[in-house]
Chain A
């Protein structure tokens, strides 16, 4: 009797262990930053992934779905370990997410090298858009240079004669200033790179004041932006030297810095006030479910799940048909929160960029509002270096 029960139990265990493998489940590994000061960005991304799954009825391409979240702690080595674990242990079909360019440069080659799809939903380092482009790599965001290119063009059009540029000293910081300079042809009086994650900018702000430029261009994402904006205002420079930024003033930093960012200009490919069906649904339901305004990091992550859904749907759930999924994703057959866009040969979007301003809406909340379109169907500058042929 006892052995029968034991055999039965063992059999049950084996069956349980084998069950998930036999049923078709799409497994998605989602890497983002969930702890520490930058964890707030990851929270928005994770919430948006969950919202996308809600909207898809907890199915992706008609199949059951399992999302494994990983916290990269803003560290490339941790990101790579997570990717390895997702590939080997969880045997995921897609890896998605990744906020930081230096983490992305460690994660993407690991994933695509293992023959698995990498669907980036934020970082767009120039290496992956150019020489390192890969048919299994897609992104729903942008190439790093594109957004500052729009700001450079706007400031050039305003004919601002000299600018002081500041960014954190890492892969994306360099890309941002590079992109800015591609379209801003007037004088750069100072180009300063600070430590990634720096808290106190007073020393740099003193240098800036001494240089007395006509305007300042900065890239300070997440917590860094909050600190920089506060200290810039405290130094009394806000009324004196106009500040223009990318990825610094957004729905994450606005509630924290409030008036220190009012009237601030940004360029971006997305805004909560974009009038299209997918975006209005996303924004309204995000606010309803999480009680706060969504941010572009979230919109991209929402789009990432929708893109994966469109690919799995196109191959009728045959996850081994990678060629079919690549072809499907290249068509952008889903309703993006930014409205329609196309993919360039390097799988980076060709999309619009807008000038946004931080304004107070009638209810008193600070929101980002589109002022004008800076670029229509803007391509990144590295696609030419990508050897991929469609």
Chain B
């Protein structure tokens, strides 16, 4: 199979689309980890909650945009609730306890969703105005909906960047990520800040879930499939850093997509095609982990670590 330029461009767009989805998830997770020092395995559950709420609201209102718009504050609320009820008690505990408790939350949410909506996957279709294709270049159609995800993701990234670097709240968030004891000593209500950051992260995960709904199937356990890659993203990007989350997400999205697409044909030019058939998919599924291992070796703090963590 020859590799044409149009195909490379299309796969790059696919990689970018996957990357921004990962970013929406990673942004919340990295802030929670960086500021609160909390390992939150249940972040994927908020992605699932977002997807289900968006589906339910879309069905009620008949409008996809309205459905997603309603799902965001609703997921934020769920996030705040989880933080206040369950996670507050965990900040002082060690990471193993947090892993155990948040893993419990995963099971809780999966079962809850199965009770409310059933185990069967729910189908949501792409909204009418975003279905179909548009031509990026002559001979290169691209699904409009996936292009819209890229745009929304990039817009959120810019907004978040402005929020974190140019507002008072952002300053506190950055300060919290750098040294949470000091910011508490300076009289900032750190509890409120924690709740706010967690809610914000939940809403972003909910947005990712809501947009993923029409692409994948909305079903219990859908969050775990993406969570592992998100952890890879924040390890590569550097814990606690929004900039690291953006770069890490794009890098992982690209590496995974391009690896799946081109590793096999590229290997086939070096080794025998049957061997490439075997090695290609195996290497492609390892690519992001190899990348993570390399980053950990050369820059153990990640590409863009939050400055001077305590």
Contact = CB atoms under 8 A, between A and B. Distances in A.
Given A199-B226, A223-B219, A43 B119 contact: yes
Which of A194, A207, A227 is the most central at the interface, judged by chain B CB atoms within 10 Å of its CB? Answer: A207
A249 B226 CA distance: 25
Counting contact residues on chain B (CB < 8 A from A), the size range is 35 or more
Given A191-B277, A206-B7, A257 B143 contact: no
B107 to A, nearest CB: 9
Contacts of B159: none
A43 B120 CA distance: 10
A194 B281 contact: yes
B11 A256 contact: no
B133 A37 contact: no
Given A234-B126, A234-B215, A193 B281 contact: yes
Contacts of A235: 143
A210 B4 contact: yes
Contacts of B261: 203-204, 206-207
B120 A199 contact: no
The 4 closest A-B pairs by CB, nearest first: A256-B123, A36-B221, A226-B217, A203-B257
B288 to A, nearest CB: 12
Contacts of A258: 123
Which of A37, A169, A223, A226 is the most central at the interface, judged by chain B CB atoms within 10 Å of its CB? Answer: A37
Contacts of A256: 120-123, 217
B43 interface: no
B194 interface: no
Contact of B121 (A169, A193, A223): A223
A90 to B, nearest CB: 24
B110 A35 contact: yes
B221 A35 contact: yes
A207 B14 CA distance: 11
A385 interface: no
Nearest to A226: B217
Interface string A189-217: 01111110101101110110011000000
A40 interface: yes
A204 B281 CA distance: 11
A127 to B, nearest CB: 19
B137 interface: no
B133 A236 contact: yes
B221 to A, nearest CB: 4
B123 A257 contact: yes
Given A37-B222, A195-B285, A256-B120, A234 B217 contact: no
Contacts of B14: 202-203, 206
Given A39-B114, A226-B217, A255-B120, 13 more contacts: A36-B110, A37-B219, A37-B222, A192-B281, A194-B260, A194-B281, A200-B216, A204-B260, A223-B219, A227-B215, A230-B217, A235-B143, A255-B123
B145 interface: yes
Given A169-B281, A204-B260, A226-B217, A39 B1 contact: no
Interface string A244-274: 0000000010011110000000000000000
Chain A interface main SS type: helix
A200 B122 CA distance: 16
B143 A37 contact: no
Interface in B135-159: 141, 143, 145-146
B205 to A, nearest CB: 16
Contacts of B122: 256
A258 B221 CA distance: 22
A231 interface: yes
14 contacts: A36-B110, A37-B222, A40-B119, A40-B120, A190-B1, A194-B260, A197-B225, A202-B14, A203-B261, A210-B7, A211-B1, A226-B121, A234-B126, A256-B217
B52 to A, nearest CB: 14
Nearest to B226: A199
A123 B142 CA distance: 38
Nearest to B7: A210
B120 A231 contact: no
Interface residues of A, number: 36
Given A191-B277, A234-B145, A37 B11 contact: no
B222 A210 contact: no
B12 to A, nearest CB: 10
B98 interface: no
Contacts of B222: 37, 199
Nearest to A190: B1
Contacts of A231: 215
Contacts of B257: 202-203
B83 interface: no
Contacts of A190: 1
Contacts of B216: 199-200, 227, 230
Nearest to B221: A36
A39 B119 contact: yes
Contact of A202 (B4, B146, B220): B146
B10 interface: yes
Contacts of A39: 114, 119, 220-221
Contact of B1 (A169, A199, A210, A252): A210
A202 B260 CA distance: 10
Contact of B220 (A37, A193, A203): A37
Contacts of B120: 40, 252, 255-256
Interface in A219-233: 223, 226-227, 230-231
A11 B131 CA distance: 72
B64 interface: no
Nearest to A234: B143
Contacts of B15: 203
A204 B256 CA distance: 12
Which of A39, A204, A211, A231 is the most central at the interface, judged by chain B CB atoms within 10 Å of its CB? Answer: A39
